[in-house]
Amino acid sequence: MPMNMTEKILAKAAGKDAVCAGDLISAEIDVIMCHDVTTPPAISMLKENGIDKVFDPERIVVTPDHFQPAKDIKSAELHKRLDKWAREKKIKHYYPIGKAGVCHALLPEQGHIRPGEVIVGGDSHTCTYGAFGAFSTGIGSTDLAAAIATGQLWFKVPESMKFVLNGTLPPGVYSKDVILAVIARIGTDGALYRAMEFTGSALGDMTMEARMTVTNMAIEAGAKNGIIGFDETTKQYLDEHLKDKTEYTVYDSDAEAEYVAVKEFDCSKLEPMVALPHLPSGGVPIGECSGKEMDQAYIGSCTNGRIEDLRIAAKIMQGKAVAIRTIVVPATPEIWKQMMDEGLGSIFYEAGCVVSAPTCGACLGGFMGILASDEKCVSTTNRNFVGRMGSPKSEVYLASPATAAASAIEGKLTDPRKFM
Amino acid sequence: MSKAHVYKRDHINTDEIIPARYLNTDDAKELAVHCMEDLDAGFIEKCAAGDVVVAGDDFGCGSSREHAVWAIQGAQVGAIIAQSFARIFYRNCINCGFYVVELPGAIEKINDGDEIEIDYEKGVIENKTQGTKLEFKALPDFAIEIINNGGLLKHISRK
């Protein structure tokens, strides 16, 4: 029976020869991602139910990120609970502060993501890791607790949609613009419960960092997972990043595999996109919204806080000054160091940006850049829901690092091609 | 019998249900104070124990934060009826032992303030105010068993 990538990985994880969409399976989990908001409650639940077991301390990766460094006493208590548990359970891959980073940037960078594996995490953007040809999905705290204890979870095999990204991205247009255009076309529930499989020449040209921006936002279309096939670019990234366990299995979609829908995009015709408030599906070409005055620019997050993103922003800001508050957040300590080593930190400083330690921070309205009422922020993050970055009366405009940097300089939504 | 609080809106997301500024706690009672705060600041005042929230499509989209379910449970909401649910939220509800009802056309069939009664196992909502019976697809048996056992972890530890 022909199968697509998602089905093949889930079949293997369930110990079956084949599965098809709609099957309920019990899957073996390869890697579990744990952070500071959803894991402490999972730990408490396990304790309350008299379950003390951790299925495999080598296959759980722990990093505080949402509110780290602790933003207040309550979040410090969450960190304390997480830290105590990680040490007690001898979690091998624990990244305390100094090593900690935004989870979805940190795990691939530190070599915890391999093709063909089943990865779950207590965070909706866990779908990011699908960029490596893995099945990866976000779960809540109860599922997380069950997975930590048993190494297994039940899943319904999702139907798959195929997104063919044709053509070549024009200058000034990036993978963020692509995924905003995809979500604008299908809506925030356009892929509800489904797998989003991405393919096509424009995708093939993208670096792994750029591909992760695409799969990161699969959840913003309601998807269970986003997934991208393995190629030479994937292999090269893995060769550079995998550490202790370097073997993996690659699964490709069969040519006759079934998809409930196939959507084609001509990326050559794409323009820089901005998702207007208050849904990630509010994407419009920059030409339709340029000139809108902003109060803040935010460059960071699991969507666009990687070194490539910082390079793109720095290139635009070099020798210029920002007109509004601009916050730059390298997603991991390694990215932070690279930024400094490459001189990007100085460019941001000279331009008048504030650069923070790695954190999810203001992306979710946690801290480090909260918006007041009636303020507007152009942000490289993934959500622009009401109140997402602060006051329920504030507004978030989602864009690429290039558009955010150009808008920071002008103080209003600006086409980044103006600076190229 | 429960009173329905109807929100004629799609995509009511987890940031509206429980804003992230309150995620520094996982205490349901503390979370409940802020339940639905960014959608309807008056919600917690008007919601009595057992009342039901009714909404459009894609309810609970966004974050995987189970805090959204705990806030709703802490506010003693009896159930949520929506035209459709976002995936992680739906799964979290069952895992927490909380009933979710998928009812196409929900926001047309139930008015704000209607008194309703839900039979979860049979899949019937009785709208006492309008004198109508609305059928929905009941949850599968295993999900009802998880809910009746008080959630996934209690369910597992009983086995």
Q: Please state, in angstroms and rounded to a whole number, the distance separating the CA atoms of residues A165 and A174.
A: 12
Full residue range of the structural domain in which residue A293 is found: 274-419
CATH code for position B133: 3.20.19.10
> Could you report the per-residue pLDDT of B57-92, keeping only the tens digit for each?
999 999 999 999 999 999 999 999 999 999 999 999
Q: Please state, in angstroms and rounded to a whole number, the distance separating the CA atoms of residues A107 and A302.
A: 11
> Is A129 exposed, middle or buried, given 0-12, 13-18 or 19+ CB atoms closer than 10 A?
buried
Q: Please state, in angstroms and rounded to a whole number, the distance separating the CA atoms of residues A120 and A135.
A: 8
CB contact under 8 A, B86 and A192: yes
A217 with A337, same domain? no
Residue with tokens 């990680």: A86
A14 with A157, same domain? yes
A26 with A123, same domain? yes
A261 with A296, same domain? no
A321 with A215, same domain? no
Of the three residues A233, A265, A297, the one that is the final residue of a domain is: A265
Q: Please state, in angstroms and rounded to a whole number, the distance separating the CA atoms of residues B25 and A239.
A: 40
Per the structure, the count of domains in chain B is: 1
Predicted local confidence at residue B158, as pLDDT: 78
Full residue range of the structural domain in which residue B98 is found: 2-158
Within 234-263 of A, beta carbons closer than 8 Å to B belong to: none
pTM for this model (two decimals)? 0.96
Q: Does A251 fall in a domain?
A: no
Q: Count of CB contacts below 8 A, A vs B?
A: 132
> Could you report the per-residue pLDDT of B85-140, keeping only the tens digit for each?
999 999 999 999 999 999 999 999 999 999 999 999 999 999 999 999 999 999 98
Of the three residues A214, A237, A265, the one that is the final residue of a domain is: A265
Of the three residues A265, A297, A332, the one that is the final residue of a domain is: A265
N-term to C-term CA, chain A: 49
At A118 the three-state DSSP class reads: strand
Please tell me the total number of residues recorded for chain B in this structure. Answer: 159
pLDDT(B159) > 80: no
Please tell me the total number of residues recorded for chain A in this structure. Answer: 420
Within 148-177 of A, beta carbons closer than 8 Å to B belong to: 149-150
Cβ within 8 Å of residue A326, ≥6 positions away: A296, A297, A298, A299, A348, A351, A352, A353, A354, A408
Helix (H) or strand (E) holding A271: none
Cβ within 8 Å of residue A261, ≥6 positions away: A161, A162
Rg of chain B, C-alpha, whole Å? 15
> Could you report the per-residue pLDDT of A19-63, keeping only the tens digit for each?
999 999 999 999 999 999 999 999 999 999 998 889 999 999 999
A261 with A293, same domain? no
CB contact under 8 A, B21 and A365: yes
Alpha helices (runs of H) in B53-140, residue ranges in sequence order: 67-74, 87-95, 106-109
A261 with A294, same domain? no
Average of pLDDT values for A333-361? Answer: 98
Q: Name A273's bridge partners.
A: A285
Q: Please state, in angstroms and rounded to a whole number, the distance separating the CA atoms of residues A161 and A32.
A: 25
CATH code for position A302: 3.30.499.10
Average of pLDDT values for A249-272? Answer: 98
Residue with tokens 């990120």: A65
A358 with A221, same domain? no
Residue with tokens 């379910």: B69
